[in-house]
Every structure is written in C-alpha cells, then in structure tokens.
C-alpha cells in the first residue's frame, strides 16, 4: 500500500511538473505568436503608410503648384497691386479673377473652395455653390483671427496646411447649408512691389479626398480605426467626421520616433496602435486595431495549442505510469522480499536486474539475506562444536581423589628410592592437574596461567635435561587480569616440539604478556628455534584463517589450531586471534590478541 502511494505521489508530481512546463510553454508560444502577428501587422501597416505618404505628398505638391499658378496670374497681381476704384473696373477685375478660380476648380474637382483675403479687408472667393465678394475694411471677419491666418503669416512664403475647418467657417453669406469638412492649404501672397504680405490665399480641399487617399492604400475593417492627426495631436482626417479637430486619445511613447507601434487601452479595450509621421508635413497616420482581431486570426492556432496541450498531458500520464511502474518494480520486489524475510524465509534472493540505486539495494538485500543465513549456519556449527567439546571434557574426566592418591603413592616411592628428579616431575604434574579439577571455569588469571605454564616447562626440562630457558615477562597490573585457561601451554609445546627439537631441545623461549590498548592485551611467545619454511607458514596461516569452517580432523584438539578455534568460539573472528611470524633459522614468534576485560558472560 505504501509503495502504491509512493507511485501515485511520483506520478502526480511528474504530471504537475509536465503540466506546468507545458502550460508555460504554451503561454510562451502563444505570446510569441501574438508578438509575431503584431510585428507583422506593424511592418505591413508601415509599408502601406509609406505608399500612402507618397500619394499624399504628391497631392500636396499638386496643391502647392496650383497655389503658385494662381499667385503669378496677371489678374491676381493686378487685383492685389491696383485695386479697382470704379464700379466698372471692379466688375472687370472681379469677373476676371472669378473666371480663373472657376477654371482651377473645374480642373481639380477635389477643391471645394478658393478664397483670397487681402490685408486691406477685401475678400473674394468661390465655393462649389457660388462666387463671393465681400469688403471688410474693419477686418471683422473671423478669418483674420483664425489659426489658418496665423499659420499663413508664420509660414510665408511657403504653403501651409491646416485641418479641422468646415465650409461654414468660410461662409460669407450666412447660409445654413450642411457644412463640408475641409483641409485648408494656406499661402501668404506678396506682390513684387510690396514689402509686406498683402494677402492670404486659401485653397480648401475636401477632407474626404484626403481620407480616400490613405484608405485606398490601407482599407480598414469594421473594428479598425484609421485616421490622421497634425502636430497638435488633433484629428484632421477621419471617416467619422464627428471626431475631426478632437484630440487623439493615443499618445506616442517617444516623440522622437517617426514610426512604430505600441499597445494602448482605449474604451476598455486593448489595441495595437501603429503610427507613421510623414516627412516635412507634421501629419501622422494612425491605425488602431483591437488585440481581439489578432485572436481571431490565431483562433485555429489556439485550438491547436489547446488540443496539443491536452494530448501531451494524456501521453505524459500514460508514459509516466508505464515508466514509473517499470522503475519501481525492483522496489516492489524488494518490499515483498523484506516481508518474506520477516516471515522467516532466510536466504531469500531477489532479482538484480537494475543497475541504478534500486539495483544496489537489491544486491545489498541479497547479501544481507545470505549473511543472515551464513550467520545462522555458523552459530549452529559453533553450538555443535561447544557440545562436542563438552562431551570430550566429560569423557576425559577422572576422579581427582583417585588421581591425587596415585600420584602421592608414586611420589613417596620415588622418595624412598631416593629419585629427586622423579619427585620434582610428579610435583610439577600435580600442579598442572590441580587447576583442572580445582575450578571448572573457562577463565583463569594471568598469574595462574603463568604458574601452570612454568610447571609444564619444569616437566619438559626434567625430560630433556634442563636445556630449555624460559623467560616470563608480565606487564605490571595484569597479574589478576582474566584470560582463557590453558592458552599458553600449547604454544610453548609447539615451540619445543617444532622449534627446539632439531637443536636437541636446547634454546630459549620468551613469554611476554602486555597491554596493547585499553581494550586488548597481547600474549607473545617467541623462540630461537629453526623457524618455519615460507611455504609451510602459508599453509599454517591458511588453515588458521579458515579454522571456523573446518571440522575437527583427527580428534586430538591440541596445538595452535585448538587455540585459534577456542578464541573464535569465544570472541569471533574479528579483532582477536592468533598470528604467526617466522624466519627460517632465526625462530618463530606467535602472538595472541585477546580482550583486556572479557564480557561477564564470557567469564562464567
């Protein structure tokens, strides 16, 4: 159940990660597409604005040429230089000038009206309805205070353009006809013989004419606004004529830029605003397109992104479930193996197919299971060995009173026969046998073990003629330290039989007992015998290191192998045991490492 829960958690976390990544990726793609569409729209619009600029500039140049032609006409110069004083001459001048104006308006249908305002208050002009002549010596006409008049004064002698006027602004007769929206071309006039500007020429062009120029180049949709503003940020051309001369609600982010685009919120709707300022005009073309228009264009892409997103989630869910099931299958086997091991199936092994961390866990589980099985087998062997040892001890027990009485009888017989060597040997033998029956414990003190070993050496010297020199060195404070019983005698016996025998049992044996650390002591037995050949030494070491796996072969149980076996039985194979070092012709050193203070249960 826990593993299923872990798998579910992994799948959920994996899916959440994938969903976040896919969602962010979709948003980024969507945003990039929107940006690309806006950039594409900006580039296309700017390119079209440039084409429209060419047409508008051509149109402006044409109007400029018309104004120059009107100014240089003799009838115009005569009207300005020599104002008629008689009624006949006034009529002649007026008719001549009207004819020229009429001819010009007939040639250029987009011109709605032409007016000439002189500085002395004379006004003459013609619109598409009627010619007009008016004398305003006091200059009370609104024109003389209008922006158009001021622009004409400032821009003299160049042609200037002013937007936002209607035909009503030039209505000299007070008619109430529906006014036409106009764009006014203004030029100051000065005759060759005058020092100052003598008049202002006004050529009024229908605003619809200018609108048609850029609308032809760049048609607008229902939701798209396309219009033109002047340097005052006032709308001078728009399909919705009610917005003329009203401030534009959009402001360029950088007035130094002649073209570009930005996003602006207008009427609670976000729009992309593309602008293009035409050279040497002060006019700026503006196109406003709602962002919703781009959404319509990429609706198919949006559906594709959503479908792809959902499919990706489904595929990721399937793949994550499939791969996590495969990845976690070793973990499931490991959990099942641990349950079986807990129920007592010792030695169980699971599959080690993975090469990752789960495979390492499986290998360690198999090692642990095998180690537990080996440990149980080893404990069984140890217990079996202990039982065999106890049986041997029981079989070897002899009534101690019978043995002591027999030895005492032999000893007195030797005294009567005056055989002191026999008496000494029997006394040493009694000292050897006494501890065996005095205390059945497996442990004795270092001092008692020393005395026991000295009695053994005494018997050997009686046997071989006092040729063996034995030196005991015990570190101060260790005399009463507990130690396994009868652990030194087999080593001295080994030195006498194998090391000193070739020297006619003559030599020296050093026994040194000292504290190695706070947890262990060393019993070292060294002789100056013949030593051990290297190949024999390897065989001895190999057998000692594998002594725990060997069954007793000969049933004797003596020598260094018996010592090693006893140490392993009591303390295990790690940290304690017997080591042998030898050089041929120089002697042998045997060391035993034992715990300084065996555990209480080991002493019993």
291-296-297 Cα angle (round to 5): 95
Tokens representing residue 456 in the block: 């053994």
- Residue spans of beta strands (DSSP E) within 293-446: 443-445
Which residues does the chain have with pLDDT short of 50?
Answer: 1-3, 395, 552-557, 600-601, 603-604
Quick check: helix, strand or coil at residue 226? strand
Listed by start position, the domains of the chain span 439-603
Phi, psi of 125, rounded to the nearest 5 degrees: 180, 180
pLDDT for the residue numbered 556: 39
Burial class of residue 475, CB neighbours in 10 A (0-12, 13-18, 19+): middle
Residue 570 CB partners (closer than 8 Å, separation 6+):
442, 484, 598, 602
Q: 587-595 and 577-583: which strand pairing?
A: antiparallel
d(CA 201, CA 143): 12
Nearest to 513 by CA among 559, 444, 564: 444
Cβ burial 19-36 (10 Å sphere, 16+ → b, else e): eeebeeebeeebeebbee
d(CA 564, CA 226): 107
Alpha helices, DSSP H, located in 73-86: 74-81
Phi, psi of 316, rounded to the nearest 5 degrees: -65, -40
d(CA 91, CA 98): 10
* Residue-wise pLDDT tens digits, 143-174: 888 888 888 888 888 899 888 788 777 765 55
Q: Residue 496, Cα to own-chain centre: how many angstroms?
A: 74
pLDDT for the residue numbered 6: 67
Which helix H or strand E contains 365, and what residues bound it?
A: helix 357-396
d(CA 295, CA 306): 14
Phi, psi of 338, rounded to the nearest 5 degrees: -65, -35
d(CA 432, CA 438): 11
pLDDT for the residue numbered 535: 92
Phi, psi of 227, rounded to the nearest 5 degrees: -155, 180
Which helix H or strand E contains 578, and what residues bound it?
A: strand 577-583
Cβ burial 454-472 (10 Å sphere, 16+ → b, else e): bbbbbbbbbeeeeebebeb
Quick check: helix, strand or coil at residue 397? coil
CB 228 within 8 A of CB 210: yes
Tokens representing residue 532 in the block: 């051990």
Q: Which CATH architecture has domain 439-603?
A: 2-Layer Sandwich (3.30)
pLDDT for the residue numbered 1: 44
274-276-279 Cα angle (round to 5): 175
pLDDT for the residue numbered 255: 64
d(CA 561, CA 543): 8
Which helix H or strand E contains 456, and what residues bound it?
A: helix 446-464
Residue 148 CB coordination number (10 Å): 25
* Residue-wise pLDDT tens digits, 257-307: 788 888 777 777 788 888 888 888 888 888 888 877 766 666 676 777 778
* Radius of gyration for the chain, computed over Cα atoms and rounded to the nearest angstrom: 63
pLDDT for the residue numbered 82: 81
Cis status of the peptide bond prior to 149, with omega within 30 of 0: no
Q: 259-266 and 235-238: which strand pairing?
A: unpaired
């Amino acid at each position: 159940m826990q593993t299923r829960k872990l798998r579910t958690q992994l799948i959920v976390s994996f899916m959440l990660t994938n969903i976040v990544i896919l969602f962010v990726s979709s948003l980024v793609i969507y945003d990039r597409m929107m940006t690309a569409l806006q950039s594409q729209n900006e580039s296309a619009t700017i390119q079209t604005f440039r084409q429209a600029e060419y047409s508008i500039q051509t149109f402006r140049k044409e109007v400029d040429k018309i104004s120059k032609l009107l100014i240089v006409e003799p009838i115009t110069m005569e009207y300005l230089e020599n104002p008629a004083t008689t009624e006949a001459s006034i009529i002649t001048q007026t008719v001549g000038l009207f004819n020229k104006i009429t001819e010009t308006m007939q040639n250029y249908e987009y011109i709605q009206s032409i007016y000439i305002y002189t500085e002395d208050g004379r006004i003459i002009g013609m619109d598409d309805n009627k010619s007009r002549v008016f004398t305003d010596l006091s200059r009370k006409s609104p024109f003389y205070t209008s922006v158009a008049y001021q622009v004409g004064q400032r821009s003299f002698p160049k042609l200037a353009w002013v937007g936002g006027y209607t035909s009503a602004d030039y209505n000299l007769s007070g008619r109430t006809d529906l006014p036409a929206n106009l764009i006014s071309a203004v030029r100051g006039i000065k005759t060759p013989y005058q020092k100052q500007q003598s008049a202002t020429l006004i050529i009024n062009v229908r605003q619809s004419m200018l609108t048609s120029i850029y609308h032809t180049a760049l048609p607008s949709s229902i939701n798209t606004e396309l219009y033109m503003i002047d340097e005052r940020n006032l709308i001078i051309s728009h399909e919705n004529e009610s917005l003329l001369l009203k401030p534009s609600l959009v402001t360029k982010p950088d007035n130094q830029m002649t073209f570009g685009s930005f996003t602006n919120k207008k009427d609670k709707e976000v729009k992309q605003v593309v602008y293009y300022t035409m050279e040497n005009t002060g006019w700026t073309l503006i196109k406003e397109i709602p962002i919703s228009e781009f959404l319509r264009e990429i609706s198919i892409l949006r559906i594709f992104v959503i479908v792809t997103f959902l499919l990706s989630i489904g595929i990721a869910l399937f793949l994550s479930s499939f791969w996590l099931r495969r990845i976690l299958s070793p973990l499931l086997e490991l959990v099942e193996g641990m349950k079986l091991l807990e129920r007592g199936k010792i030695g169980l092994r699971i599959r080690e197919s993975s090469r990752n961390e789960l495979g390492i866990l499986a290998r360690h589980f198999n090692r642990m299971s095998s180690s537990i099985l080996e440990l149980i087998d080893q404990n069984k062997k140890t217990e079996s060995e202990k039982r065999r040892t106890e049986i041997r001890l029981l079989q070897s027990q002899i009534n101690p009173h019978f043995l002591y009485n027999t030895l005492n009888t032999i000893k007195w017989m030797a005294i009567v026969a005056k055989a002191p060597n026999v008496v000494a040997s029997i006394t040493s033998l009694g000292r050897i046998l006494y501890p065996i029956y005095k205390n059945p414990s497996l442990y004795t003190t270092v001092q008692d073990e020393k005395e026991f070993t000295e009695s053994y050496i005494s018997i050997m010297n009686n046997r071989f003629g006092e040729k063996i020199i034995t030196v005991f060195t015990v570190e101060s404070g260790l005399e009463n330290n507990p130690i396994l019983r009868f652990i030194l005698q087999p080593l001295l016996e080994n030195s006498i039989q194998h090391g000193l025998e070739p020297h006619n049992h003559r030599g020296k044996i050093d026994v040194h007992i000292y504290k190695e650390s706070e947890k262990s002591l060393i019993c070292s037995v060294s002789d100056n015998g013949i030593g051990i050949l290297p190949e024999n030494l390897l065989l001895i070491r190999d057998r000692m290191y594998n002594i725990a796996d060997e069954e007793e072969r000969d049933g004797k149980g003596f020598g260094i192998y018996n010592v090693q076996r006893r140490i392993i039985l009591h303390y295990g194979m790690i940290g304690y045991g017997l080591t042998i070092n030898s050089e041929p012709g120089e002697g042998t050193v045997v060391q035993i490492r034992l715990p300084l203070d065996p555990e209480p249960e080991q002493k019993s």
